């Protein structure tokens, strides 16, 4: 405590001395010069480039903007330091009042009007360049046409997995708005997504995909979620009776063996359901007496779409033909 008092006493003694008074005056002049420099600097004008958010305001609920317009304007401003400090703390938005600029299904803002809006938003800055230099946005009061979404996709699963069912689209219906309230063209019945190409999926996958809006239209929402259900596959086998087909009346086709082993893969969810089915057939019409062979070809028929990679233990079977009188 005593050391602090001694330091303070020495400082007071120094400032009361002629040398201390000189140092104090010097510091006062430095502070005054700094304040004057700051004031002069803040009043100087400089050019800077900015991106200012663009907003269309006062839009009635019954109106839908078909042309959404740019999210921001690129501007070159000549502004004072005080204005620059304000804009560095947050770019001001340029507000376009729908009520003031609407005309026959369009919002029209000229270059001069756009510069005036930017100047007002930036506190009177001089606007050298604004891009885009004009705005022309279409709108409609039509409630929109409800259309279904058609996914444009080519997707394959990994070797030990399977795609289950159709892709799930959320939402599966969107609204289409047409400029100037025009009628829906006859050739537009659905809205397509951007192309999706996925290879070797091993797990259920969801992708956010943009929708392709026809020219001079707007789709709301403009993107959808598409889910591809994927399940691992399990190996399975069973014995199947060979079924003769196209056998004429009075003839009996007998195969040896009468049943064979079939091997296939099923999704895990279908493994224990027993709903997957197929037939193994021996076609009487495929037998050629001139071939000298005692075997008939075996074929798969009515294979369920829940089965994958169906294989038979043999592709033919011996046969005999019995004729009944």
Write the pLDDT tens digit of every residue in 1-10. Answer: 556 666 666 6
Distance CA 108, CA 118 (A): 16
Partners of residue 43 on adjacent β-strands: none
Separation of CA 276 from chain center:
36
CB-neighbour burial class of residue 198 (10 A; exposed 0-12, middle 13-18, buried 19+)? middle
If you ran DSSP here, which 8-state letter would residue 314 be given? -
In this prediction, residue 42 carries a pLDDT of: 47
3 state DSSP class of 80: strand
For residues 167, 159, 205, 188, the Cα torsion angle rounded to the nearest 10 degrees is -30
Distance CA 184, CA 213 (A): 13
Q: Cβ distance 101 to 107 under 8 Å?
A: yes
Partners of residue 154 on adjacent β-strands: 197
In this prediction, residue 208 carries a pLDDT of: 96
In this prediction, residue 9 carries a pLDDT of: 63
In sign, the C-alpha dihedral spanning 284, 286, 291, 292 is negative
On the question of pLDDT at 15 being above 80, the answer is no
Write the pLDDT tens digit of every residue in 50-72. Answer: 788 999 999 999 899 998 788 89
Cβ-count burial 53-74 (b if 16+ within 10 Å, e if not): ebebeebeeebbbbbebeeebe
Residue 80: both structure tokens together: 């004072």
On the question of pLDDT at 94 being above 70, the answer is yes
Q: DSSP per residue over 109-156, as a string?
A: E-HHHHHHHHHHHTTS-EEEEEESS-EEEEEE-S--EEEEEE--EEEE
3 state DSSP class of 204: coil
Round the average pLDDT of the chain to a whole number and report it. Answer: 82
Confidence bin at 185 (pLDDT 50/70/90) = confident
Q: Return the number of other C-beta atoms located less than 10 Å from residue 316's C-beta.
A: 15
Percent pLDDT > 90 in the chain is: 29
Question: pTM of whole model > 0.85?
Answer: no
Distance CA 246, CA 248 (A): 6
* Comparison of pLDDT for 307 and 176, the residue scoring more: 176
Query: 258 phi and psi, to 5 degrees?
Result: -80, -20
Residue 146: both structure tokens together: 């409800």
Please state the rounded mean pLDDT for residues 4-22. Answer: 63
On the question of pLDDT at 216 being above 70, the answer is yes
Distance CA 310, CA 312 (A): 7
Q: Return the number of other C-beta atoms located less than 10 Å from residue 203's C-beta.
A: 12
Write the pLDDT tens digit of every residue in 67-86. Answer: 878 889 998 877 765 566 56
On the question of pLDDT at 253 being above 50, the answer is yes
* Residues in contact with 153: Cβ distance below 8 Å, sequence separation at least 6, in sequence order: 167, 193, 195, 196, 197, 198, 226, 228
Distance CA 293, CA 290 (A): 8
On the question of pLDDT at 308 being above 70, the answer is yes
Q: DSSP per residue over 284-304, as a string?
A: GGG--GGG---EEEEEEES--
Please state the rounded mean pLDDT for residues 200-226. Answer: 93
Distance CA 209, CA 193 (A): 6
Q: Choose among 51, 46, 68, 47: nearest CA to 130.
A: 51
Least confident of 25-39, 135-149, 169-183, 263-277: 25-39
Least confident of 39-53, 153-167, 229-243: 39-53
């Amino acid at each position: 405590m005593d050391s602090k008092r001694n330091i303070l006493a020495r400082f007071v003694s120094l400032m009361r001395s002629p040398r201390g008074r000189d140092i104090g005056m010097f510091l006062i002049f430095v502070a005054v010069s700094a304040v004057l420099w700051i004031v002069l600097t803040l009043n100087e004008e400089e050019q800077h480039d900015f991106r200012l958010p663009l907003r269309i305001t006062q839009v009635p609920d019954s109106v839908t903007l078909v042309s959404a317009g740019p999210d921001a304007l690129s501007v070159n401003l000549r502004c004072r330091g005080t204005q620059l400090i304000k804009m560095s703390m947050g770019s001001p938005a340029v507000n376009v009042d729908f009520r003031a600029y609407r005309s026959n299904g369009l919002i029209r803002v000229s270059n001069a009007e756009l510069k005036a809006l930017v100047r007002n938003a930036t506190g009177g800055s001089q606007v050298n360049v604004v891009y885009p230099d004009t705005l022309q946005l279409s709108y409609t009061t039509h409630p929109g046409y409800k259309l279904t979404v058609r996914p444009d996709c080519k997707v394959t699963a990994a070797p030990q997995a399977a795609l289950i069912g159709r892709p799930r689209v959320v939402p599966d219906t969107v609204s289409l708005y047409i400029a100037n309230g025009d009628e829906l063209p006859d050739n537009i019945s659905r809205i397509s997504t951007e192309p999706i190409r996925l290879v070797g999926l091993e797990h259920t996958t969801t992708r956010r995909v943009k929708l392709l809006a026809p020219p001079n239209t707007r789709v709301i929402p403009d993107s959808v979620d598409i889910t591809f259900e994927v399940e691992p596959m399990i190996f399975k086998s069973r014995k199947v009776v060979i079924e003769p087909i196209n056998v004429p009346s009075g003839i009996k086709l007998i195969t040896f063996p009468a049943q064979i082993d079939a091997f296939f893969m099923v999704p895990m969810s279908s493994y224990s359901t027993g709903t997957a089915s197929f037939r193994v057939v021996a076609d009487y019409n495929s037998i050629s007496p001139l071939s000298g062979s005692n075997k008939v070809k075996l074929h798969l028929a009515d294979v369920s779409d829940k089965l994958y990679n169906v294989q038979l233990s043999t592709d033919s079977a011996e046969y005999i033909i019995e004729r009944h009188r």
